[in-house]
């Protein structure tokens, strides 16, 4: 059959050209700010200080230097311990939020999210006040030092609890009432209900939660740098190799090593999600919690304990920032907030942080949403769209510290015409955006998938351009998701340290990085003050954000369907 002569090649509409253009722009951005830097880092790990190729020599040196390779085991130990603590605590807390009739569920849900507003250094700073060498509750450690694995683990538990609770609460709230009713109708004993219904629903969530927590701990930098003491972990090693000794080759090796658990966790999570998809259908009926006083009382006590310790940790850091000179002068003052006394740049890092977070949020929301739209709607451009969709998932497998390091290596190269970008707030914004890209991308895709698939076909048949339909229909309907992305990016940029620690310049240093520097210089109280400023700013932003969301949702309530009563 002579297909070639009979198959007419359909001309593309201007809209489809535009979508393809967007996909290509997205690909170019991913190449420039993700793939090429990582490739440069990988190459660097095979080079010596002068840039000569040395094969695996750096890796050999790394694994044969006990001082370095021991931190690999330290990291694994800390991450495993934290995961082992976070998992049961988060499970019980999430269970209380979703499968009990405990009073105050909304408040407990809000409290557990508090650490999200704080940089990862804040819990560590609070621990210094509580259990440090001059801490008020030092006796509670029975002579052990908080500086080291104990401190890192406690700080990490505090810091990782929110997302673990949210992940497990989401899994637990997906329960299908019909299954439990069928089990009851078939007179199934309780233990069998658990092994045949609850556990199968839960196991994927637990596995996914364990992977995420493990990787976040292993790649986090903030806690270990503040409270790690002489206990070396991978994340602090990179920092010391690169910032301390300017050994980019060795830093790159550790970066590659650090990517291994992240990639393993990423692939594991993908496999889990593929298997999990069939669990819930649109016909499922939400689970109705049966009353049980004993269960609710026990869970209430447990949640109160967890929530109280979170508030104590946050409160201690805030209180410590107002104490004039710990532990000698306990009068409260704003002395620690006069940052010029501790650091020549004073309040400038805070202004930088606001600028950087605003930029990340503004640029990021547009790029993420337009990118997701183009990937969803471009027709017959399979190779490019699937490559871009894969790249959009990749940041999940790249720790922030590694991404930052790869930027230094890539943009610092003399041959790179983009070298002037290094140290700018713009590149810092881009790094933050890339680091958090996947979460935002998935939010946007989920929102777009909820729209009628035929909107574009309908507007095409009416000869209205896609751009017009995007502005008039798609974007307004997706406004809640757009706002969610914008808010998330702002908060993430305010609190993030790991991506930025390598790529700031003296005049573009942001608040979260300043916390590290001020703390390094020994001014714990001022570091606590700066961290408190970040928390307050994030809390204020969050309140403003909630207000905007409320107004937008109320304005659209006339047409927004309220399917869930």
Contact positions toward other proteins, by CB under 8 A? 1, 3, 6-13, 15-16, 380, 452-455, 457-465, 468-469, 472-473, 476-477, 556, 558-561
Q: b or e along 170-208 (b: 16 or more beta carbons within 10 Å of the residue's beta carbon)? A: ebbebbbeebbeebeeeebeeeebeeebbeebbebbbbb
| Angle (CA) 102 107 112, round 5° | 100
Nearer CB in complex with other proteins: 345/465: 465
Secondary structure of 36-77 as H, E, C letters: HHHHHHHHHCCECCCCCECCCHHHHHHHHCHHHHHHHHHHHH
**Which residue lies nearer to other proteins by CB, 171 or 459?**
459
Distance from chain centroid for Cα 434: 11
d(CA 417, CA 533): 37
**Closest separation between CB of residue 560 and other proteins, Å?**
7
Residue among 48, 177, 163 at smallest CA distance from 113: 163
Q: Which is nearer to other proteins, 181 or 452 (CB)?
A: 452
Cα 331 from Cα 311, distance rounded (Å) = 22
The Cα 238–Cα 241 span in angstroms is: 5
Nearer to other proteins by C-beta: 11 or 190? 11
CB of 554 to other proteins, least distance (A): 14
For residues 293 and 558, which CB has a smaller minimum distance to other proteins in the complex?
A: 558
Q: How far is the CB of 471 from other proteins (least distance, A)?
A: 12
**Least distance from other proteins to the Cβ atom of residue 472, Å:** 7
In angstroms, the CA 556 to CA 558 distance is: 5
The residue among 192 and 555 lying less far from other proteins, judged by its C-beta, is 555
Cα-Cα-Cα-Cα dihedral of 452, 454, 458, 460, to 10°?
120
Q: Which residues pair with 47 in a beta bridge?
A: 53
CB of 296 to other proteins, least distance (A): 38
CB of 461 to other proteins, least distance (A): 5
**16 or 321: CB nearest other proteins:** 16
Residue 309 has, within 13 A of its CA and on its CB side, a CA count of 15
């Amino acid at each position: 059959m002579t297909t070639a002569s009979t198959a007419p090649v359909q001309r593309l509409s201007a809209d489809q050209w535009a979508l393809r253009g967007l996909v290509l722009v997205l690909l170019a951005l991913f190449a420039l700010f993700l793939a090429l830097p990582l490739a440069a880092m990988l190459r660097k790990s095979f080079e010596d200080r002068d840039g000569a190729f040395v094969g695996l020599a750096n890796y050999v040196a790394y694994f044969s230097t006990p001082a370095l390779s021991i931190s690999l085991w330290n990291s694994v130990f800390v991450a495993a311990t934290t995961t082992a603590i976070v998992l049961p605590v988060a499970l019980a807390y999430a269970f209380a939020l979703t499968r009990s009739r405990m009073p105050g569920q909304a408040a407990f849900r809000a409290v557990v999210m508090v650490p999200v507003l704080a940089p990862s250094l804040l819990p560590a700073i609070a621990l210094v006040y509580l259990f440090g060498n001059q801490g008020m509750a030092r006796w509670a450690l029975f002579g052990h030092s908080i500086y080291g694995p104990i401190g890192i683990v406690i700080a990490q538990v505090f810091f990782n609890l929110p997302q673990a609770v949210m992940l497990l609460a989401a899994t637990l709230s997906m329960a299908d009432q019909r299954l439990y009713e069928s089990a009851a109708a078939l007179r199934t004993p309780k233990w069998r209900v658990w092994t045949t219904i609850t556990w199968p629903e839960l196991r994927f969530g637990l596995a996914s939660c364990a992977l995420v927590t493990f990787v976040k701990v292993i790649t986090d930098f903030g806690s270990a740098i503040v409270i790690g003491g002489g206990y070396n972990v991978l994340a602090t090693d990179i920092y010391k190799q690169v910032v301390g000794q300017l050994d980019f080759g060795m830093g790159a090796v550790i970066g590659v090593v650090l990517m291994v658990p992240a990639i393993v966790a990423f692939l594991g999570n993908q496999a889990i999600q593929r298997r999990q998809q069939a669990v819930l259908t649109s016909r499922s009926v939400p689970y109705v919690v049966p009353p049980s006083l004993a269960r609710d009382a026990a869970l209430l006590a447990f949640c109160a304990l967890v929530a109280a310790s979170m508030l104590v940790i946050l409160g201690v850091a805030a209180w410590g920032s107002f104490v004039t000179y710990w532990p000698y002068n306990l009068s409260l003052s704003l002395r620690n907030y006069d940052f010029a006394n501790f650091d020549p740049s004073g309040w400038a890092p805070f202004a930088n942080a606001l600028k950087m977070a605003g930029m990340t949020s503004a640029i990021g929301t547009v790029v993420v949403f337009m990118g997701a739209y183009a990937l969803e709607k471009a027709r017959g451009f399979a190779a490019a769209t699937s490559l871009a969709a894969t790249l959009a998932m990749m940041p999940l497998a790249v720790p922030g510290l590694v991404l930052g390091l790869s930027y230094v290596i890539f943009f610092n190269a003399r041959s790179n015409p983009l070298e002037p970008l290094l140290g700018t707030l713009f590149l810092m914004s881009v790094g933050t955006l890339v680091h958090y890209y996947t979460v935002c991308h998935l939010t946007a895709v989920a929102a777009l998938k909820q729209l009628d698939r035929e909107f574009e076909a309908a507007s095409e048949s009416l000869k209205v351009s896609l751009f017009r339909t995007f502005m008039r229909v798609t974007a307004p309907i997706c406004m809640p998701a757009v706002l969610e992305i914008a808010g998330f990016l702002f908060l993430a940029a305010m609190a993030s340290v790991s991506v930025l620690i390598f790529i700031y310049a003296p005049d573009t240093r942001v608040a979260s990085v300043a916390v590290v520097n001020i703390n390094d210089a020994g001014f714990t109280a001022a570091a606590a003050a700066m961290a408190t400023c970040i928390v307050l700013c994030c809390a204020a932003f969050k309140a403003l954000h909630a207000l905007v969301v409320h107004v937008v949702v109320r304005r659209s309530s006339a047409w927004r369907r309220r399917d869930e009563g």
